[in-house]
Structure 1
Amino acid sequence: MGIKRRLQDYRLYRLVREITWTIKKYSTSNPVEKIVNLKPSGPSKGDVLLARANDAFLLKPGEPFPTTHQLFWEAYQQAMVFLDLGYAVDVVHYLNRQFVPQKDYVLFVGTLWNMERLSPLLDKNCVKLAHLVTAHPLFSYTAKLKRYLALQERRGVSLTPQKQSWDTLKAMEFADGATVLGNEFTVSTYRHTRKPLRRVPTAVPHSYPWFHEKDFERCKNHFLFLSGEGMVHKGLDLILEVFASMPQFTLTVCGPVLKEEDFVRAYHRELYETENIKLVGWVDVSSQKFQEIATECVGLLHPSCSEGCSTAVVTCMHAGLIPIVSYESSVDVSPDSGIILRKSSIEE
């Protein structure tokens, strides 16, 4: 189902279906501390606790649905599924550390550290389902440090590794099962739990028109790097070194590179003094600027060392770019549609 149809469904739920929405407000106006109570149109089969982003449930009348991140839509859609099934839903922000359950919930769906914190407070019969959006932290951290060590060996510099999130380290020790964003790679990092793991597709909040006027002959040597924070984790160091030695190809770099000062110092020549490499910085993927960049490039490069289905990759595929990505980017790519890098080495 397309984004337009889903947004129509969103309005349908807000304006037509008689769902009772109640927001419990604390003394603070902080939305993180608000609890959203959703009631089905008929008799309730029980209560479900959802620890996800609550932003989509706090919109004012006429306020557009947030599209800055897919987690808003995912949380909303999860709640709608449970309502459709006849369950009442309490939505607690995943960053709310003060919430204490006051009901006997039949199901708890949580992200990050919420599984570890809230599970002991729930009824023993409550089914606990973790929602995992990254590879296991131990795998991810190990893979990241290997990248930094390899960079140190190649360039003779020691960069400070980006902060590692440990929020899901013990989640599966408390959960009965999990939904996992990503493909078999991400799932494999949780196999040790010997608990049910169900893959779910990642949501992309933007769709793009097909660029009929795109000149593939002209852009066949132009490539894009797009990512969030963690340039070494995402493999930008490898890409810069490759393109610096291949002047016949051009690279456009989009992402918060300037936030990582030691990386910028280490790769100043490639970022600022190499003619075939253009540093754009962070770009809004809903903007016209991003669409123009996508039109000028033939493919996306994303040799990340660990992901839970890279949204950057899926977004660029939606924008018509051919993916050249690592296996650890956790996106299924058929051989006739792109390239999966197995080693993500400079030589490869």
Structure 2
Amino acid sequence: MKKIIGVILRHLKQLFISGKYDTFVSEISKKSPWVYISYISESFYRRDDKKYFNSHQNIRESIEIVRLFNEKGYNVYVQSPKSRKKLPQIDFKIIFGIEPNFIRAAKKYSSAKMIYYATGAFIDHQNNQVRQMTDYINNTYNANLRYVRLVPEHRSAYLADYIVQIGSNYTIETYPEELRKKIRIIRQSTQTVTSYPSIQYAEENEFFFMSSTGNALKGLSLLVEYFSQHQDLRLNIVGTIEDNFKSVMSSLFTSNIVFWGYLDINGIVFSDLSKRCNFVIYPSGSEGMPGAVLNSMKKGLIPITTRWAAVDNIEELGFLMPSWSIDGIDVGVKWALGLSKDQVKKLRLKSFEFVKDNFTIENFNKDLSKFIDSLKNEGSF
């Protein structure tokens, strides 16, 4: 009973917080045109909450998006994507953000330019992968896991004039051909503090995985299955493990599979753990560009991923798994174990430098600023 009451109280608290922080206005001039943004509004009220602010790169990026539009001469009205407050009576020139309020705004302000901010793969691809990867677990282990991370049906990409995409060219491939010409990729930021001096060959040669909600979609069942069959190898798992997933897969939790729970990615434990690993392995079925992989690479870990979790030109940095499957993982692990110590050292440093040089808040700003400027120069708005 206490557990149930606790869940209810946390839920009510979250509802209160969401309602309190679900809009934010940044007006630079009475004469300036307006942009409506359907994205994170809470971040503007919690900048001093370090744990919240550092919890995900999109918190900081949400603030930068508003700052950039202000810098370009626009007033900005931010509304949480799921807020049910009435849309304001403002003549918006640009609608930017994510569903569902992106869709509400697109219908109400139909003469505005529509910029969909896509942080994941195309909706049909994602939902198909959620179903397939969950069905794999249910059929293999006679389970009844529900589909987690299904995206409610929407057609934001079709409504949009432009799609600002967090991801890679592999992400673009998840879209229908007719939508791809709308897409402009921008580089997201990472939260991991640069750790150049600590990057070296890890004698333990362990593997690393950072989990989040949607364990099935991330391919965690496949990793558990594989490493339970290869107990001479060690898999370190950081992050969220869903209770239902745990109950289904727990019989395969062998001693070489270690669960660390939530860790601060800039904390001592996370840092020490990354020094024991040479590889991050991520057999996900659908992503934009997973922060779990980028932040791991910034710690000097070599990526072994499916195409949907891969950076462009991953073959120069790590290994592209042929599929999300046990065989796909096996090929990737055998590739990793076949590398010499010198090859591992070089790839670890190359992985670190690639993310350090590309996936920064400065480059996020640069890419988005360049996109906005290009549309203004074209006379699009």
TM-score between the two structures when normalised by the length of structure 2: 0.74
Report the AA paired with residue 33 of structure 1: D
In 1, Cα distance between equivalents of 2:23 and 2:165? 26
In 2, Cα distance between equivalents of 1:59 and 1:227? 25
The answer to whether structure 1 residue 181 and structure 2 residue 166 are counterparts is yes
Shift of 1:171: 1.1
Structure 1 runs of 4+ aligned residues shifted over 6 Å read none
Contact (CA 8 Å) 2:40, 2:81: kept in 1 or not?
yes
Q: What is the correspondence of 1:307-318 to structure 2 with a 5 Å cutoff?
A: 307-318=287-298
The answer to whether structure 1 residue 269 and structure 2 residue 269 are counterparts is no
In 2, Cα distance between equivalents of 1:227 and 1:99? 36
Report the AA paired with residue 260 of structure 1: D
Contact (CA 8 Å) 1:136, 1:169: kept in 2 or not?
no
Q: 1:108 aligns with which of 84, 95, 102?
A: 95
The answer to whether structure 1 residue 81 and structure 2 residue 68 are counterparts is yes
Moved more, 283-292 or 314-323: 283-292
What's the counterpart of residue 17 of structure 1?
none
Show CA shifts across 1:186-219 (max 9, x none).
Answer: 222333553511111122123232243x562512
Show CA shifts across 1:151-204 (max 9, x none).
Answer: 345x34233133344346211232222111111222223335535111111221
Q: 2:229 aligns with which of 221, 232, 245?
A: 245
In 2, Cα distance between equivalents of 1:44 and 1:312? 42
Contact (CA 8 Å) 1:185, 1:328: kept in 2 or not?
yes
The answer to whether structure 1 residue 199 and structure 2 residue 185 are counterparts is yes
CA RMSD of aligned residues (A): 2.5
Percent identity of the aligned residues?
Answer: 21
Report the AA paired with residue 232 of structure 2: Q
Shift of 1:96: 1.7
In 1, Cα distance between equivalents of 2:294 and 2:153? 23
Contact (CA 8 Å) 1:302, 1:313: kept in 2 or not?
yes
The answer to whether structure 1 residue 304 and structure 2 residue 284 are counterparts is yes
In 2, Cα distance between equivalents of 1:135 and 1:256? 21
In 2, Cα distance between equivalents of 1:128 and 1:215? 46
In 2, Cα distance between equivalents of 1:112 and 1:148? 24
State the SS of the aligned residue for 1:309. coil
What's the counterpart of residue 130 of structure 1?
116
In 2, Cα distance between equivalents of 1:45 and 1:325? 45
Report the AA paired with residue 114 of structure 2: K
Shift of 1:300: 0.6
Shift of 1:109: 0.4
What's the counterpart of residue 319 of structure 2?
339
TM-score between the two structures when normalised by the length of structure 1: 0.81
* Unmatched runs of 5 consecutive residues or more in structure 2: 1-15, 329-381
In 2, Cα distance between equivalents of 1:44 and 1:147? 51
Report the AA paired with residue 248 of structure 2: A
State the SS of the aligned residue for 1:101. coil
- After superposition, the Cα gap between the structure-2 partners of 1:107 and 1:296, relative to the gap in structure 1 and judged at 3 Å, is same
The answer to whether structure 1 residue 38 and structure 2 residue 27 are counterparts is yes
In 2, Cα distance between equivalents of 1:56 and 1:144? 29
Contact (CA 8 Å) 2:164, 2:183: kept in 1 or not?
yes
Contact (CA 8 Å) 2:202, 2:276: kept in 1 or not?
no
Q: 1:326 aligns with which of 277, 297, 306?
A: 306
In 2, Cα distance between equivalents of 1:335 and 1:188? 18
Contact (CA 8 Å) 2:39, 2:80: kept in 1 or not?
yes
What's the counterpart of residue 40 of structure 2?
53
Q: How many residues align?
A: 311
